[in-house]
Structure 1
Amino acid sequence: MSSSAISAVVARQILDSRGRPTVEADVQLADGSRGRACAPSGASRGRHEAWELRDGDPSHYEGLSVRRAVANANAELANAVIGQSAVEQARVDDVMREADGTPALERLGANAVLAVSMATARAAAAHRSIPLYEHLADLAGTAMSMPMPMTNILSGGAHAGRGMDLQDFLAIPVGAKSYSEALEMIARIRLSSARLMDERGLSTLLADEGGLSPGFGKARDAMDLMIRSFETAGLRPGEDVAIALDVAASELFEDGVYRLDGEGLTLTGEEMIEFILDLASHYPVVSIEDPLDQDDWENWRTFTAQLPRVQIVGDDLFVTNVGRIEDGIARGAANAALIKLNQNGTLSGTIEATAAARAAGYATVVSARSGETEDTFIADLSVGLGAGQIKIGSVRSTERLAKYNQLLRIEEDAKLGFAGVRGIFGLNVPIAA
C-alpha cells in the first residue's frame, strides 16, 4: 500500500448551523495523514440536485437524521475507497459513484459521498504538506485568486420563513481593491442595516444565513433599505458597492405561474421577467440569481438576452451539473453558474462543472448553503479554483465567519491577487449608479 493510500474512513452524524443532522467524515492515509470534512445542506433545493439521504424516521430529529448515510459511508463507501490513492481524487470519486450506482447518488446518499470526497482532498493536501487551496488548484489546473464576496444583507424566501418574496438582497463591494477591504466594507453595510432597522422598529432577528429579515411586502422597500445602508456606511451606491438579488424563483413557481404573496401578484413567466427588469432598472443591480423557475428554459433565455451587462446566475437551473450547464450554454440561458459542492455530490464533479461553465465564458460563484458547519472547505475551493466570487452568507454566526476568516488567512499567507470585479460577468468597467 502506497503512503497516499486511504487506510480508514470514519463517518458520524453531527449538527449543522440550523440544528439539523449532517454527515461528517474522517479519512486517514497509510502515512498517517488525515482529513475531515462536513457535508452542507440547503433549504432552497433544486429538484435536479444530487440526493441528500435522510432517514425519514420521525422519532429521530423529526425524520431528518442521517444515520443511514453515515452507515453507508462507514461500510460500502469505505470498502470502495480503502486502498485508493487520495491524490487521485477523480478515481476516488469515481469508485464511490460506481459503488452507489445511481445518477443522483440516491442509494448511498450524496451527503455521505461528498463528506468522504472532501475529506479525501484534505488528507491528500496534508500528505503533500501543502495548503488545501493549493492542492485544489493542482487538481483543477487553475490559477488561484482571492474571490469577491457576495454577501447577504436582507433575507426572505426559504431562508427567513418566507417573510419576503425574494430570497436574498446581497451586497457586492465592487470598489474594493483587496479581499480584506471588501470584507470590511461588507461588515460596515451589515452593521448600518441593523441600525437603520432598529431605528425604524423593525425586527433584527436573523435568517438561516445570518441576513436580516425585515419582512417587507414590497421588494422596493428592501432595495431602498439596501441603498440607505450603503450611504449610512459611507459608501457610494453603484460605485463602491452594488446590489445582487437571489430571487429563488423556483420557490415562487406553482401551477405554471409565479406567486409573489408580499407583492400581491400572480405573474406569468413574461410578467415575472418584467417585474425583475423593472427592479434592476431602478437600482445598481449587477447580479441576479434564479430569476425564473429551474425548468423555465425559454424565459431564462429571454431574460438573459434582455440584460447583456448584468450577471445572470443559474443555481437551481444548473445545480452544479455539467449536463445542465452545457444545456444552458446551448440555449443561451444565464451567463454565470453558482457552484455548490453538495448539489454535485463529489469534489471532482464540482471541478468539472466549474470548468464547463468557465470554458463557455460563464462567471462562477462558489456558494455555501443555508445549513453549514465550521468547515471552511469552500473558502479554499474558491481560491483554488480561481472562481472569482464567493457567496458565504452574512457576516454573522460562526459557520459563516469561519469561512470569511479562512479567506483572510489565505490572503495573508498566499499573497494572491484579488479577483475584484473581473470575476463578475459584465463588470470589467466601472458601474453606473
Structure 2
Amino acid sequence: MSRIEAVHARRIWDSRGRPTVEVDIVTEAGARGRGIAPAGASRGSREAMELRDGGAAFDGKDVMTAIAGIGREIAPALSGFDVSEQAAIDAMLITLDGTADKSRLGGNALIATSLAVLHAAAHEAGLPLWRYVAGDEAVRLPLPQIQIFGGGAHAERRVDVQDFMVIATSATSFAQALEMTAEVYLHAGKLMRKRGVAQGVADEGGWWPAFSSNEEAMDVLVASIEAAGFVPGVDVGIALDIAASEFGKGGQYTLGLDNARLDTDAMIEKLLRWIERYPIVSIEDPLSEDDEAGMIAFTRAAGSKVQIVGDDFLVTNAALIEAAASKGACNAALIKLNQAGTVTETLAALRAAKAHGYASIVSARSGETEDVAIVHLATGWNAGQLKVGSFARSERMAKWNEGIRIEDGGERPAGFACASVLARR
C-alpha cells in the first residue's frame, strides 16, 4: 500500500449539537479515509480523555485545541507512514501523546485519526471496511441491542436506569431483528401516549418517559413486546444498561425514582428480583465502577442466567478485562472505540474478551454522528453484538441501515450471529 500524504482535521457537530473532531487522510495513491470522534454522556473514569477547550464558547465543549494539535503534531508524524501499518501508527499516536489517559492531544483527536487511517487503508485495498478488517475470516452480522426507553444521563434522570433495550432473540437475520424492533418501538410509543407518559425522545432516540418507577418502565416494555405480537423472553428479551456509576459510589446507590438508598447487597437483591420478574437477558454495569466486590458477587449470583456486561467497569481496556476475568467479574465486555482511543487498543480489548470467554458488544456513544464505522467493525471483527441506541434519529438509523446493506450486499458475511452469542456461564 502507499504512504500517507495528507492529514486534515476539522470541527463538525455531533447528534447533541456539540463540537467534535473529524479527520481526513489521503494517501499517495489517492485513497481517502475519514474518521469522526463520538462522545459519551456517562463516562468511565478510566477511559481515554477528550480534549475540550473550556471557556465560554459552546459551554466549554469546543475542540479547536485538539484540531490544532492534529495539524501541529499528528499530521507531520503521520507523513510517510504506510497506510496499512495500523498498529505502528496507533503506537506512534500513543507515544506522541505521552499520557496514560490521552489527555494531552486528546482521545478524541487520536480516535478520529486512527479511524481515518483504517478507512483509507480499506479504500486503497478496494474493500468494504468490514471485509478489510475480517481478512479471510468467516464473520457474521451482529445481534442488535436497541433502546426503546432512554433514561439516566441520556434523559435528565427521568428514570434511574439508563437504557431499556430489546434484543430480538428469535430473529434469524439482521433485517428481521430490525423489523421486530420497529414493531416494539411503535407499540411502546402508542402505549406511552395512551398512559399519558410520553415526553418526546432522549439523547439516543428512545422514548423519553415520565414513569413513576423503574419497574413501570419494564412493565410497559413487556406490554409493548406483547402488543407487537411477540412472546416476551421467547421472541424478544430485555437488555438493561443500569449505568450504576451514575448514581452509585462507595457501595451506596441512590435511586431517585424509587426514593431509595441501597447498599451493594440490597442493590444486588433488587436486580435479582428484576431478573426473576422480567424477561431480562442482559444487564450492563449493574454495579458502579468502584464496586469490584459487588460486580464479582452479582456475576456469581446471576452470571448463569443473564449476560453481565462491563462498560464503565472495563472501559474497553484489555488489561482490565483480563483482571476482571481472573476474579470472576462480568461475562461480557462493551467495546467502545473512543474509550480506548485507538483502533488497535479497541481490537486488543475485544480479543481479550474473546480469549477469556466473554461475549463482546461493539457500542456507539450518546453523542454520535453519521459515521457508520462501528457496524463494519462489529461485523468484520465478528464481535457478535452491536449496541447503537434507539430505532429513531438519523445518526442511529444510518448505522442500522448500513447493517441491512452489508447483509444484502453482493459480498456478504457468512450469516447472522443470533441469540447464541449472548453470554451465559
> What TM-score do you get using the length of structure 2 for normalisation?
0.98
Aligned residues: 422
What residue in structure 1 maps to residue 104 of structure 2?
107
Structure 1 residue 260 and structure 2 residue 265: aligned? Answer: no
C-alpha contact 2:146 2:181 (8 A) present in aligned 1: yes
Amino acid at match of 1:366: V
Name the CA distance, whole Å, in 1 between partners of 2:72 and 2:278: 53
* Deviates most, 199-208 or 314-323: 199-208
Letter in 1 for 2:134: A
Aligned Cα root-mean-square deviation (Å):
1.1
Matched, 1:79 2:68: no
- Show the counterpart of 1:377: 373
Alpha-carbon distance, 1:120 to partner: 0.5
Q: Does residue 88 of the first structure (1) align with residue 85 of the second (2)?
A: yes
2:424 partner SS = coil
- Where 2:83 maps in the other structure, the secondary structure is coil
In 1, distance between residues paired with 2:418 and 2:251?
A: 39
Matched with 2:405 is 409
Structure-2 residue corresponding to 1:67: 64
Q: Which residue of 2 aligns with 1:132?
A: 129
Match of 2:51 in 1: 53
Map 1:203-352 onto structure 2 (within 5 A). Answer: 203-254=198-249, 256-307=251-302, 308-352=304-348
Q: CA deviation at 1:415?
A: 3.2
In 2: Cα distance, 1:256 partner to 1:273 partner:
11
Amino acid paired to 1:33: A
**Partner of 2:183: helix, strand, or coil?**
helix
Q: Distance in 1 between matches of 2:412 and 2:159?
A: 40
Kindly indicate whether residue 42 of structure 2 is the aligned counterpart of residue 44 of structure 1.
Answer: yes
Structure having the higher strand fraction is 2
- 1:345 positional shift: 0.2
How far 1:217 moved relative to its partner?
3.2
Match of 1:379, SS?
helix
The aligned residue for residue 361 of structure 2 is 365
Report if aligned partners of 2:251, 2:291 keep a CA contact under 8 Å in 1: no
**What is the letter of the counterpart of residue 298 of structure 1?**
A
Task: Give me the whole-angstrom Cα distance separating, in 1, the residues matched to 2:44 and 2:149.
Answer: 22
Shift of 1:86: 1.2
- State the alpha-carbon separation in 2 of the partners of residues 142 and 20 from structure 1: 38
1:422, distance to aligned residue in structure 2 (A): 1.7
SS at match of 2:181: helix
Residue 120 (structure 2) pairs with residue 123 (structure 1):
yes
Question: Percent identity at matched positions?
Answer: 48
Match of 1:386 among 382, 389, 392: 382
Instruction: Say if 1:143 and 1:385, in contact at 8 Å, map to a contact too.
Output: no
| Structure 2: unaligned runs, 5 residues or longer | none
Using the TM superposition, give the Cα deviation of residue 256 of structure 1 relative to its aligned residue in structure 2, in angstroms.
4.1
Other structure's SS at 1:135 match = helix
Shift of 1:38: 0.6
Q: Deviations over 1:176-233 (max 9, x none)?
A: 0100000000111101000111111222411000011212231110111011100111
Instruction: Measure how far apart 1:309 and its partner are.
Output: 2.6
Q: Structure 1 counterpart of 2:59, which letter?
A: E
AA aligned to 1:7 is E
Amino acid at match of 2:65: R
- For structure 1, the residue ranges without an aligned partner over 5 or more in a row are 428-433
Structure 2 counterpart SS, 1:366:
strand
Name the structure 2 match of 1:16.
14
- Aligned equivalent of 1:430: none
Q: Which amino acid aligns with 1:325?
A: I
Does residue 152 of structure 2 align to residue 157 of structure 1? yes
Aligned partners of 2:199 and 2:210 also within 8 Å: no
**Which runs of at least 4 in structure 1 moved beyond 6 Å after TM superposition?**
none
Is 2:182 aligned against 1:187?
A: yes
Separation in 2 of the partners of 1:301 and 1:156?
25
Cα distance between partner residues in 2 of 1:326 and 1:171: 28
In 2, distance between residues paired with 1:215 and 1:167?
Answer: 14
Distance in 2, matches of 1:328 and 1:415, equals: 35
